[in-house]
């Protein structure tokens, strides 16, 4: 799901400002620093000035979001990519040395975020295709049709789908998936078994109709 456009630094200790004080402080800093040069803001951000990084975030978010959208052509994913870019920028701001403009440094980070997204997308697509082929073969479909598998998955209970996703798409073992879902490993294995049996039945029926 997409994230809303907001940079909210988290409190690190009990001495941090109360929430209302932080909001007032941020508003004042934005008003004072709206025309501050990037180098000044970056220097202060490197000194752990969260308000300075917030100004940089506001200054460049739309630019990075637009770049991400032109690559993925999906609003929710563009928001995710833009947010991930600024998360990485916040974590790596100390490494910025000014050999390139801050804008170009952000674009470089966004480029790597997009590359990672594309690789994950390909891996996810390959895993889904592999699972679809397996289920189609078990169901004895005469002609592969991955859309049938997706439609059949939509008819399963949510906990069955989650078990399938964790084991087949995220490549977790049954113990790891069971831990994430908060159930016994035997329960997880049973869900996988019942899900695959239900999918085979649903796909066999659709294949006969087709």
CATH of range 19-120; options 1.10.1740.10, 3.40.50.300, 1.10.287.610, 1.10.10.10: 1.10.1740.10
Q: What is the pLDDT along the chain (210 residues), one digit of tens a residue?
A: 444 565 555 444 333 333 434 444 445 555 567 789 999 999 999 999 999 999 999 999 999 999 999 888 888 889 999 999 999 999 999 999 988 899 989 999 999 999 998 888 877 777 777 777 777 676 665 555 567 777 888 888 888 888 888 888 777 899 998 998 899 999 999 999 999 888 888 887 655 433
pTM over 0.85: no
**Which class does domain 140-209 fall in?**
mainly alpha
Contacts 24+ apart (CB under 8 A), 188-196: 188/163, 191/159, 191/160, 191/163, 192/160, 192/163, 192/164, 192/167, 194/160, 195/156, 195/160, 195/161, 195/163, 195/164, 196/135, 196/138, 196/164
Q: Structural domain boundaries of the chain?
A: 19-120, 140-209
């Amino acid at each position: 799901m997409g994230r809303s456009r907001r940079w909210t630094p988290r409190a690190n200790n009990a001495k941090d400002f109360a929430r209302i004080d932080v909001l007032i402080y941020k508003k004042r800093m934005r008003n004072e620093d709206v025309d501050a040069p990037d180098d000044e803001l970056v220097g202060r951000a490197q000194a752990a000035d969260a308000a300075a990084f917030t100004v940089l975030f506001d200054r460049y978010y739309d630019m990075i979001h637009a770049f991400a959208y032109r690559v993925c052509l999906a609003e929710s994913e563009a928001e995710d990519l833009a947010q991930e870019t600024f998360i990485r920028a916040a974590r790596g701001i100390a490494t910025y040395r000014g050999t390139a403009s801050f804008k170009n440094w952000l674009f470089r980070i966004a480029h790597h975020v997009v590359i990672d997204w594309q690789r994950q997308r390909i891996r996810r697509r390959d895993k889904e295709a592999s699972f679809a082929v397996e289920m189609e073969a078990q169901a004895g479909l005469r002609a592969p049709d991955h859309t049938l598998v997706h439609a059949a998955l939509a008819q399963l209970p949510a906990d069955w789908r989650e078990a399938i996703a964790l084991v087949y798409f995220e490549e977790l073992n049954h113990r790891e998936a069971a831990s994430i879902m908060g159930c016994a490993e035997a329960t997880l294995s049973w869900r996988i078994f019942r899900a695959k049996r239900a999918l085979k039945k649903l796909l066999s029926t659709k294949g006969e109709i087709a």
